[in-house]
Amino acid sequence: MEKLIISQKDLSKFDEIGITIAVAEDIIIHATSVEESMVELKELVQAAGGDVRAELILHQKIDPDYYLDKETLDYVIRQLKDLDANMLVFIDELTGTQIKNIEELSGVKVVDRTMLLLDILANRANRREGKLEIEKAQLSYRLDKLEGFQGIYKYGSGMCVNNPFGSRILTDEESINEKIQSIKIDLSVIVKNRFVQRSKKLGKNLPLVAFTGYTNSGKSAIINELMKLDSDYTKESEIVVKDKMLSTMDVSLRKSVLPNGQDFLIVDTIGFVSDVPKPMLTAFRSTFEEISYADLIINVFDASSNGQDIQKNIMDYTFEKIGVTNKKKISVYNKADKLDAIPESTDEKIYISAKSGYNMDKLLDVIQSNLFQKSYEEILLLPYSKYETFNEIRSNRVIEMEDFEMTDNGIKLRLVMNQSELDKYKEFITK
């Protein structure tokens, strides 16, 4: 049997001390290696305010009732007292039965990665939309695990002991579904209002650049440096940089200036994590919407990290899920000052340092050249059989009522396009 890898550091200041556990049925899980996934899991526990005393990676089949085989689970339970740990954290999403069975045997709180992520975000959300999205995601998660959650509340809901439902805990399917429908109605009103607000912002004809990146890549630090170019900049307007995972789930909008004097908007999005659980995809909706409306996406990576290729795969996979694969993207490798030798930059791959200012001028030049490509205004006629093409176009920009007309032959649409869009939609151009 594999043995626990035990941390020797002093954890006496933490109320929540866990043992992290992974069963590796395959060499690669969660789009990263098992070891890298466990490092991220530890960082998530720390982001939630706890820490990890020990970790255990097992190469065995997952038990449908207990996740671990009986011998291994007995071993882990014996170690809990010796290690002064009061929580078991599993890298895989557990079933309600597994949660219930493990808690009954161990007598400690059982948390899986999805529960942990949702609890962290519940504590980070400040805006009403974010709080509602997370509450809906938590309810959906619990709906699949009602049996396990009937007893889990005696240990608290997840690490953060965060009950988003107020004093009343919903534990029956009908009540949970009613609450989810109520939240969906509230969210639809918020989304409608945000569409109006976005239309006003974009109506000023300011280009929008979305900064995305893995947690701790330094994208907020880059944005803070770019903001200093704006005449309205104040220290108080800077994004607070926190060196921990998922420090916020709220989307923030800032302004900067290009070398040609043109203002542009910057949207800072939530940091990526590997293998985003399904309940969280809708919880990130406001972030994903801002990305879909951006004129340019800047993917920020930590140049000193060894996991850049894996992180890029995770981001590309997420972009595919939310339907923004056709957006222009630039890869920016921050923290280049930590490298012994800095690779040469290109227009598609730029090495910078927000800390030292290295190549920030190059970044601005590339942003400018991408935002102000030659544009073409054309009239398109989309047959009703090609309505999905209209939806595709509409998903990437705000289309005002006066810009399109429903005709007998299809949708007539006035559109300003760059060269790549012109090539893509040329079959629909009409005179």
Q: Is 310 annotated as a binding residue?
A: no
Q: Is 183 annotated as a binding residue?
A: no
Rounded Cα distance, 416 and 202, in Å: 14
Answer with the one of 329, 344, 371 that is the final residue of a domain.
Answer: 371
Per the structure, the count of domains in the chain is 3
| Least confident residue range of 49-53, 84-88, 117-121, 348-352 | 117-121
Rank 103-117, 197-211, 383-397 by mean pLDDT and report only the highest. 103-117
Task: Tell me, yes or no, whether 414 lies in a domain.
Answer: yes
Q: What are phi and psi of 253, to 5 degrees?
A: -115, 130
CATH number for the domain spanning 240: value is 3.40.50.300
pLDDT at res. 337 = 94
Q: Is 326 annotated as a binding residue?
A: no
Question: Is the pLDDT higher at 318 or at 334?
Answer: 334
314 shares a domain with 229: yes
Q: Is 215 annotated as a binding residue?
A: yes
274 shares a domain with 418: no
- Predicted confidence (pLDDT) at residue 26 exceeds the cutoff of 70: no
387 shares a domain with 361: no
Q: Which pLDDT tens digit goes with each residue over 399-430?
A: 767 778 889 989 998 887 777 778 888 899 98
Task: Tell me, yes or no, whether 346 lies in a domain.
Answer: yes
pLDDT at res. 220 = 87
| Least confident residue range of 42-51, 65-74, 244-253 | 244-253
Task: Tell me, yes or no, whether 295 lies in a domain.
Answer: yes
pLDDT at res. 105 = 94
Contact 302, 218 (CB under 8 A): yes
Rank 100-109, 118-127, 285-294 by mean pLDDT and report only the highest. 100-109
Cross-strand bridge partners of residue 112: 90
Contact 221, 227 (CB under 8 A): no
Q: Which pLDDT tens digit goes with each residue over 252-299?
A: 788 899 998 888 889 887 767 766 666 666 666 666 677 777 889 999
Contact 209, 291 (CB under 8 A): no
Rounded Cα distance, 88 and 52, in Å: 10
Answer with the one of 102, 120, 138 that is the final residue of a domain.
Answer: 120
311 shares a domain with 393: no
Rounded Cα distance, 116 and 137, in Å: 12
Question: Which two three-digit tokens encode residue 63?
Answer: 């038990």
Q: Is 268 annotated as a binding residue?
A: yes
pTM equals 0.68
Q: Is 220 annotated as a binding residue?
A: yes
Contact 404, 413 (CB under 8 A): yes
| Residues of the chain by 3-state class (helix, strand, coil), percent to 5 | 45, 20, 35
Q: Is 355 annotated as a binding residue?
A: yes
Rounded Cα distance, 47 and 35, in Å: 19
Q: Which pLDDT tens digit goes with each residue over 135-186?
A: 888 888 888 777 655 555 454 545 544 444 443 455 678 888 888 899 888 8
Q: How far is CA 399 from the centre of its chain?
A: 27
CATH number for the domain spanning 106: value is 3.40.50.11060
Task: Tell me, yes or no, whether 179 lies in a domain.
Answer: no
305 shares a domain with 356: yes
Rank 60-64, 179-183, 360-364 by mean pLDDT and report only the highest. 360-364
Q: Is 109 annotated as a binding residue?
A: no
Q: Is 49 annotated as a binding residue?
A: no
Q: Is 175 annotated as a binding residue?
A: no
- Predicted confidence (pLDDT) at residue 25 exceeds the cutoff of 80: no
pLDDT at res. 418 = 72
Q: Is 353 annotated as a binding residue?
A: yes
57 shares a domain with 16: yes
Least Cα distance to 142 among 103, 167, 179 occurs for 179
Rank 31-40, 167-176, 355-364 by mean pLDDT and report only the highest. 355-364
| Least confident residue range of 197-201, 243-247, 254-258 | 197-201
Rounded Cα distance, 256 and 74, in Å: 58
Q: Is 65 annotated as a binding residue?
A: no
Q: Is 234 annotated as a binding residue?
A: no
29: confidence class by pLDDT, cuts 50, 70, 90: very low
Q: What percent of the chain has pLDDT over 70?
A: 78
Rounded Cα distance, 45 and 246, in Å: 11
Domain extent, residue 270, equals 204-371
Answer with the one of 120, 149, 165 that is the final residue of a domain.
Answer: 120
Q: Is 293 annotated as a binding residue?
A: no
Q: Helices 308-322 and 285-293 sit at what angle, rounded to 10 degrees?
A: 90
Q: Is 336 annotated as a binding residue?
A: yes
Q: How far is CA 381 from the centre of its chain?
A: 37
Q: How many angstroms separate the Cα of 161 from the Cα of each of 17, 50, 104, 116, 157?
A: 14, 12, 19, 10, 5
Q: Is 140 annotated as a binding residue?
A: no
CATH number for the domain spanning 381: value is 3.30.70
Task: Tell me, yes or no, whether 38 lies in a domain.
Answer: yes
Report how many helices (DSSP H) and strands (DSSP E) the chain contains, helices first: 14, 17
pLDDT at res. 153 = 45
What average pLDDT is seen over the chain?
A: 80
390 shares a domain with 361: no
The one-letter amino acid at 264: F
pLDDT at res. 165 = 40
For residue 162, the tally of other CB atoms under 10 A from its CB is 17
Least Cα distance to 242 among 268, 215, 223 occurs for 215
322 shares a domain with 249: yes
